[in-house]
Amino acid sequence: MKPGYIKYEELLSYTKTVLEKLGYPKEQAEVTAWSLVEADARGVPSHGVGRLPFYETNIKSKFVFPDAKLEVVHETPLSLVVDGHNGIGPYLAKFTMTRAIEKAKKVGAGFGALRNSSHFGMAALWAEMATAEGFIGMSFTNTRICSVVTFGKERILGTNPICFAIPSAGKTPFILDMATTTTAHGKVEVYERRNKPMPIGWVVDENGNDTSDTIEFQKLYRSTNPHGGHLFLGGAGEELGGHKGYGLGLFVDLLCAGMSMGAWSKETFSKTDGCKVASFFAAIRTDLFGNAAEIAAHVESILQGVRDSAKSQGRDRIYIHGEKEIEKHAESMVEGVPLDEVEWKMLDGYAAKFSLPSLR
């Protein structure tokens, strides 16, 4: 194993143990550990094991209750609404998407709205559950406030990610998993851990000015000052389409919080009512539109047409969304999962805290 790398199964087992030490029941620990390690294995450290201290803080701050019991509060043959009672996000996401898929198998499509949840990890993990069945998958979630809207300066929306996944006859499905802001806040946290300046265009300070100072921005983000935050796709103003990214972000809140009768981003992470994150999931059978195999083959022909199109100078490949992560995952299963030094120190800290053997 190369320095800084660890076997997937070893990291998975260790992460599960740490989560159980933090108070997670076994099933919640298993799905959460999987979601975190999957992110690192796919080259997405913003959603990987580096999130463990954040999850621990949420429990201590009484935003999240690991042993909370979920409740189905509304259901039809096509849909359901789940109240997670501020339980564990990945566990609640998996439950809701599983039920949506079950409904799709019976009636062609299934939709699940979830309220009073918490951070659910990579959105792609839940949409992929549908493509594994040959279905179209979708997952959306609001988040804690961190973003300013077009012509505004107050943080009132989250990064509000969206994921659309469409099966194909090729090696990988199409998986578009993205924040509706220029970047996920988890990436800012990665830059903070590594003490690196951010690219200009990610965020603005309290006066609405571009900043690359990660440390100062994080101080602002954690303060009571409500001004300054992430920019939506397209940036500030309308000239480059910032209003379009803002519209997507607001759409996510209306879909997740609106359909679940839950909290919108500005109402999440309440000091008295818990985390209150809202999410939305969908699974749709492609045979509603014809022969599923023929549709999958046609989808792949479109994707291959994109891959085969002319490349810009110095580029020898055009990627389809999701390919990089899936290929990195295959590499990690052979060579190990890469962790940065800050993540290793964090894991060493948990080893000392809970009297566990060190991973290195």
Q: Give the 3-state secondary structure of the chain.
A: CCCCEECHHHHHHHHHHHHHHCCCCHHHHHHHHHHHHHHHHCCCHHHCHHHHHHHHHHHHCCCCCCCCCCEEEEECCCEEEEECCCCCHHHHHHHHHHHHHHHHHHHCEEEEEEEEECCCCCHHHHHHHHHCCCEEEEEEECCCCCEECCCCCEEEECCCCEEEEECCCCCCCEEEEECCECCCHHHHHHHHHCCCCCCCCCEECCCCCEECCHHHHHHHHCCCCCECEECECCCCCCCCCHHHHHHHHHHHHHHHHHHHCCCCHHHCCECCCECCEEEEEEEEEHHHCCCHHHHHHHHHHHHHHHHCCCCCCCCCCCCCCCHHHHHHHHHHHHHCEECCHHHHHHHHHHHHHCCCCCCC
Proportion of the chain above pLDDT 90, given as a percent: 90
Q: Are residues 254 and 142 in the same domain?
A: yes
Q: Are residues 167 and 290 in the same domain?
A: yes
Q: Are residues 152 and 253 in the same domain?
A: yes
Specify the number of domains making up the chain. 3
pLDDT of residue 271: 85
User: Residue 194 is part of which domain span?
Assistant: 187-230
Q: Are residues 87 and 171 in the same domain?
A: yes
* Beta-bridge partner residues of 175: 165
Say whether pLDDT at 131 is over 90.
yes
Say whether pLDDT at 184 is over 90.
no
Provide the residue type at 353 as one letter.
K
Say whether pLDDT at 360 is over 90.
no
Q: Are residues 71 and 151 in the same domain?
A: yes
Q: Please, what is the average pLDDT of the chain?
A: 96
Q: Encoding tokens for residue 261? A: 């009768």
102 by DSSP, 3-state: which? helix
CB 210 within 8 A of CB 204: yes
pLDDT of residue 270: 86
Q: Are residues 36 and 157 in the same domain?
A: no
Q: What is the CATH number of the domain that holds 286?
A: 3.30.1370.60
What is the Cα–Cα distance from 79 to 259, expressed in whole angstroms? 11
Q: Are residues 257 and 146 in the same domain?
A: yes
Q: Are residues 245 and 109 in the same domain?
A: yes
pLDDT-derived band at 188 (thresholds 50, 70, 90) equals very high
Q: For 59, phi and psi rounded to 5 degrees?
A: -70, -45
Q: Are residues 158 and 16 in the same domain?
A: no
Say whether pLDDT at 190 is over 90.
no
The last residue of one of the domains, among 195, 230, 265, is 230
Q: Are residues 178 and 74 in the same domain?
A: yes
Q: What is the CATH number of the domain that holds 219?
A: 3.30.60
Of 34-43, 94-103, 148-157, which range is least confident? Answer: 148-157
pLDDT-derived band at 3 (thresholds 50, 70, 90) equals confident
Say whether pLDDT at 186 is over 90.
no
* 259-283 average pLDDT score: 96
Pairing of strands 135-141, 277-285: antiparallel
Q: How many CB atoms neighbour CB 212 within 10 A?
A: 15
What is the Cα–Cα distance from 115 to 122, expressed in whole angstroms? 17
CB 285 within 8 A of CB 104: yes
pLDDT of residue 224: 87
pLDDT digits (tens, 9 = 90+) for 235-248: 988 999 999 999 99
pLDDT of residue 208: 87
Positive or negative: CA dihedral 5, 7, 12, 15: negative
Q: Are residues 94 and 198 in the same domain?
A: no
Q: What is the CATH number of the domain that holds 33?
A: 1.10.1530.10
pLDDT of residue 43: 96
What is the Cα–Cα distance from 243 to 234, expressed in whole angstroms? 7
Q: Are residues 158 and 276 in the same domain?
A: yes
pLDDT-derived band at 253 (thresholds 50, 70, 90) equals very high
Say whether pLDDT at 166 is over 90.
yes
What separation in angstroms does the CA of 130 have from each of 72, 144, 215?
21, 27, 39
